[in-house]
Amino acid sequence: MLENEENNENAAFVSLCGDIDLTAFSENPNLKDTWAPQVCDMLENEENNENAEFGVKEVEYIQAEVKIIKCLVENIVVDISFNQLGGLFTLCFLEKHASTTILDFRSDRSTSSKSFQKEIKKKEEEIKKKDDFIFEMKRQMDSMKEYLMNNLGYHGGTSNIDQGMSAPIAPSMPPPIAP
């Protein structure tokens, strides 16, 4: 993480495909709608500047829910997103589950791409197993909810859990008051 004098933080991640993904964060709410266009303008100025330190080309500003700037800097693809925690969570997940393997392979240039691909495949299988575990837990939770609904006497046979209640209501209790 890089932090400038205005408490804006930037996380950079070089992905396996060789591009650079930047995520810029700020606690300043005034920057929410202006930050991305300002960065885009700056990059376009660099693109038009013959004396620029780095060659910037093909600046593209994508104005969607997630604001993204794409460009080439010295012929390297750079993607910049703004205030997006999802990317940071993904990065943390990758660092936790795959970074040691990735770093080992990056530091040893003699390692074949087949070995690297094998390790990535192994990590993908580990992630799939974790996903399968999560789906199985959800299935079991749904089964437990169904068991509770069928055996603990919900009012009218409907689920109060589905209505936002966290516990079953016994038939002798008054019905819940709507908020």
Taking 80 as the threshold, does the pLDDT of residue 164 lie above it?
no
CATH code 3.30.460.10 for 2-84: yes
Residue range 15-27: mean pLDDT, rounded: 70
Q: Quick count: other Cβ atoms within 10 Å of Cβ 16?
A: 12
Q: Where are the domains of the chain?
A: 2-84, 112-179
Taking 80 as the threshold, does the pLDDT of residue 113 lie above it?
no
Q: Which tokens go with 147?
A: 């068991």
Q: Which tokens go with 75?
A: 């012929």
Confidence of residue 165 (pLDDT cuts 50, 70, 90): very low
Which pLDDT value is given to residue 45? 93
**What does the pLDDT look like over 30-41, one tens digit per residue?**
887 888 899 999
Q: Which residues contact 126 (CB under 8 A, 6 or more apart)?
A: 97
Taking 70 as the threshold, does the pLDDT of residue 49 lie above it?
yes
Alpha carbon distance 175, 89 (integer Å):
41
* Percent residues over pLDDT 90 in the chain: 13
- pTM attached to this predicted model: 0.44
Token match 């303008």: residue?
Answer: 41
**What does the pLDDT look like over 77-110, one tens digit per residue?**
898 888 776 666 666 666 666 545 554 444 444 4
